[in-house]
Amino acid sequence: MSEASHPNDPPAGHPRWLPLAALLAANVALALGPWSVRLADSGPVAAGFWRLALALPFLALLARTNGQRLTGLPRRVMLLLAVGAVAFALDLASWHTGIGMTRLGNATLFGNAGSIVLLFWGFVVARRLPRGVEWATLVLALAGAAILFGTSLEISLGTLLGDLFCLAAGLLYAVYILTSQDARRTIGSWSLLTWVCLIAAPVLLTIAIARGEPVWPHNWWPLIALFVLSQLVGQGLLVFALGHFPPLVIGLALLTQPAIAAVYGYAIFGETLGPLDILGMVLLGSALAVSRAVSASSK
């Protein structure tokens, strides 16, 4: 999930097309993450552990390079960090488990459902009902999810369970975002991500061992691709691009992720999509795009 931003001209020395290329490349890189999870010969939860463990030294270096402190943090910040990091670990465990049980397009969409959760959590905090386009977002999300759940159930109970795992991951990601907002403002993004990796990686390792998953891989390339594409390239390019586009464009760019995942899911794993699948993805994806735009514009 991305931080809110506002449109801006490219900095001096950057071609005007560069932010758009970065935005599209970020979403392509992030969309390839589930593919790496599928290809990894470790267990799915163990893949989440390696995703964080391999990224940790790079994130710590970025934090130090940007002057963000890693020690001497206030107790309240550390408590919020711990809660958020555990939620993020459970998010990755649930999402990576679901990736192997449902279609990749579904996994990507439901894994991003936290955008909608955060939008409607804002209504709870503000103690008001949705208005106008916000109601439309809710209707689109419910309709799209119902269609995708229904078509998954027609395939097998396993694919429906996979959708539920990915939806749970989206809810857990919303918890992570809500608990880490204050910490992000206090210590900076790179320091936050470093601590999240430090806390979440052992949680994922414990879950993987408890599940009896193979932890040590024979083929490292899918895991290297996972941490590079998901943690470094995807997030790095996204952070660069955020300052150059309005929230709606960022939200619409999000829709490239399930589309790309659906394409390689069909080409490589033989996952077929019918007209109802496509309709459900369009409805739910549109809800994600609008919810991100509305959430960001209200900040």
Q: Residue 9 pLDDT more than 60?
A: no
Contact status, residue 218 vs residue 49, Cβ threshold 8 Å: no
- Tell me if residue 130 falls in helix, strand or coil: coil
Where helices occur in the chain by DSSP H, the ranges are 18-31, 33-39, 44-65, 75-99, 104-111, 114-126, 133-155, 157-187, 189-210, 221-226, 235-242, 247-254, 256-269, 275-297
Half-sphere exposure of 32 (CA within 13 A, CB side): 20
Question: Which pLDDT score is estimated for 90?
Answer: 96
User: What would the pLDDT profile of 167-217 be if each residue is shown by its tens digit?
Assistant: 899 889 888 878 877 777 778 778 888 898 999 999 999 999 999 999 999
Average pLDDT over residues 59-70: 87
Average pLDDT over residues 141-169: 76
pTM for this predicted structure: 0.77
**Confidence band of 82 (pLDDT split at 50, 70, 90):** very high
Which of the pair, 114 or 55, is modelled with greater confidence?
55
The amino acid sitting at 242 is L
Q: Residue 298 pLDDT more than 60?
A: no
Measured CA to CA, the distance from residue 143 to residue 22 in angstroms comes to: 32
Listed ranges 51-55, 76-80, 252-256; the one with the highest mean pLDDT: 51-55
The pair of structure tokens assigned to 212 is 């009896």
- Lowest mean per-residue pLDDT among 32-41, 230-239, 244-253: 244-253
Contact status, residue 38 vs residue 257, Cβ threshold 8 Å: no
- What average pLDDT does the chain have? 78
Question: Which pLDDT score is estimated for 268?
Answer: 74
Q: Residue 265 pLDDT more than 70?
A: yes
Question: Which pLDDT score is estimated for 266?
Answer: 72
Which of the pair, 281 or 54, is modelled with greater confidence?
54
The amino acid sitting at 45 is V
- Tell me if residue 200 falls in helix, strand or coil: helix
Given the structure tokens 């206090």, which residue do they identify? 186
Measured CA to CA, the distance from residue 181 to residue 250 in angstroms comes to: 20
Reported residue count of the chain is 299
Residue 202: other Cβ atoms inside 10 A: 15
Question: Which pLDDT score is estimated for 13?
Answer: 54
Q: Residue 226 pLDDT more than 70?
A: yes
Q: Residue 264 pLDDT more than 80?
A: no
The candidate with the shortest Cα–Cα distance to 33, out of 215, 171, 225, 218, is 225
- Tell me if residue 121 falls in helix, strand or coil: helix
Please enumerate in sequence order all residues whose Cβ is within 8 A of that of 59, keeping only pairs 6 or more positions apart, or say none.
190, 193, 194, 197, 231
Measured CA to CA, the distance from residue 213 to residue 46 in angstroms comes to: 7
Q: Residue 10 pLDDT more than 50?
A: no
Question: Which pLDDT score is estimated for 178?
Answer: 80
Which of the pair, 133 or 246, is modelled with greater confidence?
133
Listed ranges 7-21, 137-151, 191-205, 260-274; the one with the highest mean pLDDT: 191-205
Which of the pair, 50 or 230, is modelled with greater confidence?
50
Question: Which pLDDT score is estimated for 207?
Answer: 97
Average pLDDT over residues 42-62: 93
Question: Which pLDDT score is estimated for 83?
Answer: 92
Question: Which pLDDT score is estimated for 255?
Answer: 62
Question: Which pLDDT score is estimated for 5?
Answer: 38
Average pLDDT over residues 73-78: 84
- Tell me if residue 101 falls in helix, strand or coil: coil
